[in-house]
Amino acid sequence: MTLFNMLFFAIAALIVASTAIAITRRNLVHAVIYLIFGFFGSAFLFYLFGSPFLAALMVIVYAGAIMILFLFIIMMLRVEAPEEHLFPPRQMLPAVFFAAAYVAIGGLLLINDPSAGAPLTEARTEPAEFGRYIFTQNWLAVEIASLLLLVTIIGALLVGQRPAREDEE
Amino acid sequence: MGIPFGYVLALAGIVVVLGMICATTRRNLIMILLGVEVMLNGAAIAFIAAALRWQQLEGQAFVLFIIAIAAAEVSLGLALIVYLYHRTGSLNPEDYQVLK
């Protein structure tokens, strides 16, 4: 077993464990902090799989911006840790049924697929090469993503504005 | 030598299932949005493994757009959650029963 394999299994265990802990927390702040660890694990995995640029982006955007936005909102709303009945059986049973079916069928599919055993070997994409690829082959998608972000900014501004106006009246 | 591609797909599948359980069983809008984030993360793991498996850059390009879309979705979703909280004083989706 090489270091590459050991790193993969360690990172996979880290991601699954921290995500599983995060989704069962009653305290929202704890959930977000555990999820930040999970996203750091994903960033490690991206680095291991040879894309250091996306690993940096994962840390900056996912762990740094998105999760901190969650923390801001949780603290702004001062959610007083409601006595949320965790995992009510009425919703839990169908979810567990579909999750088990999904895992079983997916596992069988992977066992059945001969090309699923193809080993991944180490490779590396330099950020410059990746950027050149993105802006020459996928420039339209980049434009669409920027337009989407613009629309989101305008939408968030509109949605966030309204309650303040009603208070003034 | 090397990790079988199926292992990484299994990891991505487990992460997506965890996110799905979070999004469907929690009764808190913020946790539901976190579940969607976890599912997007699982999809990103699958794409990056596929990029390595076939030595193509398309998978990595997809992950870039997944990150951009996740950022857009979260900012708009949180703005809506704040708006709903100011209107109803609750984060429980079962409390939203007024259609106006």
Tokens of B45: 């793991």
The 10 Å Cβ neighbour count of residue A153 is: 13
Asked whether the beta carbons of residue A61 and residue B71 sit closer than 8 angstroms, the reply is yes
Q: From first to last of its 169 residues, what are the pLDDT tens digits of chain A?
A: 788 888 889 999 999 999 999 988 888 889 999 999 999 999 999 999 888 999 999 999 988 899 999 999 888 887 665 556 666 777 788 888 888 898 889 888 888 877 777 777 777 888 888 889 999 988 999 999 999 999 999 998 888 775 555 555 4
Whether B83 sits inside 8 A of A23 (CB atoms) is: no
* Chain length of chain B: 100
- Give the predicted TM-score (pTM) of the model: 0.87
Judge whether A84 and B27 are in contact, CB under 8 Å: yes
The dihedral region occupied by B26, where left means phi > 0, alpha psi between -120 and 50, and beta the remainder, is beta
Least Cα distance to A8 among B20, B66, B37, B45 occurs for: B45
Using a CB–CB cutoff of 8 Å, tell me whether A165 touches chain B. no
Domains within chain B, CATH numbers bracketed:
29-90 (1.10.287.3510)
Residue with tokens 């579940």: B35
- Choose, out of A39, A42, A97, A158, the residue to mutate when testing the contact with B (most B CBs < 10 Å): A42
Q: How far is CA A1 from CA A5, A50, B17, in A?
A: 6, 19, 28
Residue at token pair 């555990």: A34
- Give the whole-angstrom CA distance, residue A135 versus residue B43: 23
Q: B11 at the A interface (CB within 8 A)?
A: yes
Is there a contact between A28 and B28 if contact means CB atoms under 8 Å apart? yes
